[in-house]
């Protein structure tokens, strides 16, 4: 019994530390700090895959732990997606716009234009929706979310650079949110 509570406390501390590292990643502009979020989520999913249940029956601790994982899902997605996008660009510089988008040169006019503005805010909302949809047992909401996002960004996706960042960023963000949501469901189940 005591060992079970120690595991709960340790789990809460690890998730809290990962959330703190994620907040620092955003505040300091060092996305690599969010890599600390991968450890608790990865280990939790690995343990669940092998049927390892170190935590005792769900309780108030489970609710707090689930909220911590949800917070991690929503906040860590931005810096983790930035890392994936930077890796995908293979060192090619991506010029960022003044409003959070990227600057691309229009092929027809040769003018620079900022596209994919508000991606950070949209990402936060999309990850919250994904975690919520999976947590309440309605993953079909994710299909509607993808459709809405695609339609909303359609007119900005006429350049290959914008399409690539949209697809890679969306997939990275949604995969992270989905992994965290699955961890929530197996943690509180």
Domain spans of the chain? 2-188
Token pair, residue 51, equals 């049927």
pLDDT, tens only, 38-82: 999 999 899 888 887 766 666 788 888 899 999 999 999 999 998
Predicted structure pTM score: 0.87
Lookup: tokens for 94: 């991506």
What is the rounded CA–CA span in Å between residue 34 and residue 27?
Answer: 11
Pick the most confident of 9-18, 87-96, 169-178, 180-189: 169-178
CB 113 within 8 A of CB 106: yes
Express each pLDDT in 106-144 by its tens digit. Answer: 767 777 777 777 788 899 999 999 999 999 999 999 999
Q: Average per-residue pLDDT in the chain?
A: 86
pLDDT above 90: residue 94 = no
């Amino acid at each position: 019994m005591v060992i079970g509570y120690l595991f709960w406390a340790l789990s809460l501390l690890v998730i809290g530390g990962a959330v703190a590292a994620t907040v620092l990643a955003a505040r300091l502009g060092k996305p690599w700090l969010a890599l600390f979020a991968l450890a608790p989520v990865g280990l939790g999913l690995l343990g669940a895959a092998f049927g390892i249940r170190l935590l005792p029956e769900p309780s108030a601790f489970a609710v707090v732990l689930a909220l911590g994982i949800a917070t991690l899902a929503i906040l860590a997605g931005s810096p983790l997606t930035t890392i994936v996008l930077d890796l995908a660009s293979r060192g090619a510089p991506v010029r960022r716009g003044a409003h959070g988008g990227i600057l691309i040169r229009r092929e027809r006019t040769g003018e620079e234009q900022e596209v994919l503005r508000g991606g950070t805010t949209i990402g936060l909302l999309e990850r919250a929706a994904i975690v919520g949809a999976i947590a309440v047992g309605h993953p079909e909401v994710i299909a509607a979310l993808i459709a809405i996002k695609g339609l909303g960004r359609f007119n900005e996706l006429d350049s290959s650079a914008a399409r690539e960042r949209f697809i890679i960023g969306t997939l990275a963000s949604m995969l992270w949110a989905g992994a965290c949501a699955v961890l929530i469901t197996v943690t509180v189940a």
